[in-house]
Structure 1
Amino acid sequence: MTEEPTPHATAGPEGTGRQHGALHHVEIWVPDLERAAASFGWLLEALGYTPFQSWSNGRSWRLGAAYLVFEQSPALTAGRHERCRPGLNHLAFHVQDHHAVEELARRASRHGWTLMFPDRHPHAGGERTYAAYLENADGFEVELVAITAPGPG
């Protein structure tokens, strides 16, 4: 594992870039690290995350003070994530606007993602939400939610 980078000096208490109660990291166990790194790595880097840590069983990407870890643990008990079981259902990310949502959704299939609910896209989450729901080969779902979206009409 690599050393943690120096915190941002402009944000958070005492210039640490960290805030009480803010998310520190999320660790997700995956059945195939290289497949996860290919699908999640592409997506996270497209969203502005940067590679952070790398070791034989894992990789992480950072945005701000928080980071996401993907690890192929020898203690893993299943070969595929099942989002409908107790535990993680999906990760949701803010995306600049509806144009960026569409561009990411279009490019995602080249990186191991499939558009979910295509018959209801981009409003599968309701008429007030402009989002793309994607699933990768290991059953992990992400939601890409436009920060700004076109108005009704």
Structure 2
Amino acid sequence: MSGFHHVEVWIADRESLGDWAWLLTRLGFTRDSVWAEGESWGAGGAYLSLTTSPNLSSPVHDRRRAGINHLAFHGGSRAEVDALVAAAPAHGWRPLYAERYPHAGGPDHYAAWLENADGFKAEVVAA
């Protein structure tokens, strides 16, 4: 068996969960569990946990430091990725590399890069 079982992302506070809930729902994830410190979202047999922790070394996320730079998701068709990008700002996600959209990753790579207010970056890749 191969692939991810789960990924756990530590967030500074629960306020950003709304941003993530919109994006993950839009991408076909379902909320599997909720607890006082966070939530877990599943798709394709794996899950993503978004949780706060008293053990954070800093409340500020910096994707340019060692660690995870971004999470990349399957986004469906090009039209679905375009629709997601158009709706994203109203849901807490700002487009990155807009001047090169949708080929910021190269001429054969159709994708959007988004960043939320906490500095987390998500890539949404068209099939």
Provide the TM-score with structure 2 as the length reference.
0.96
Partner of 1:28: 9
Partner of 1:5: none
In 2, the alpha carbon distance for the partners of 1:67 and 1:33 equals: 18
Work out the number of aligned pairs and report it. 127
Partner of 1:88: 68
Partner of 2:62, secondary structure, is: coil
Report the Cα offset of residue 95 of structure 1. 1.4
Aligned counterparts, 1:87-126, within 5 A: 87-126=67-106
75-84 vs 134-143, which moves further: 75-84
- Which of the pair has the greater relative contact order for Cα pairs under 8 Å at 6+ separation? 2
Percent identity of equivalent pairs: 46
Unaligned runs of 5+ in 2: none
Report the Cα offset of residue 68 of structure 1. 0.2
Cα-to-partner distance string for 1:43-82 (whole Å, 9 max, x where unaligned): 1111111011111001011113110000010111112211
Partner of 1:60: 40
Partner of 1:108, secondary structure, is: helix
Which one-letter code corresponds to 1:124 in the other structure? A
Partner of 1:130: 110
Which one-letter code corresponds to 1:74 in the other structure? P
Partner of 2:112, secondary structure, is: strand
Provide the TM-score with structure 1 as the length reference.
0.80
In 1, the alpha carbon distance for the partners of 2:2 and 2:76 equals: 25
In 2, the alpha carbon distance for the partners of 1:27 and 1:62 equals: 12
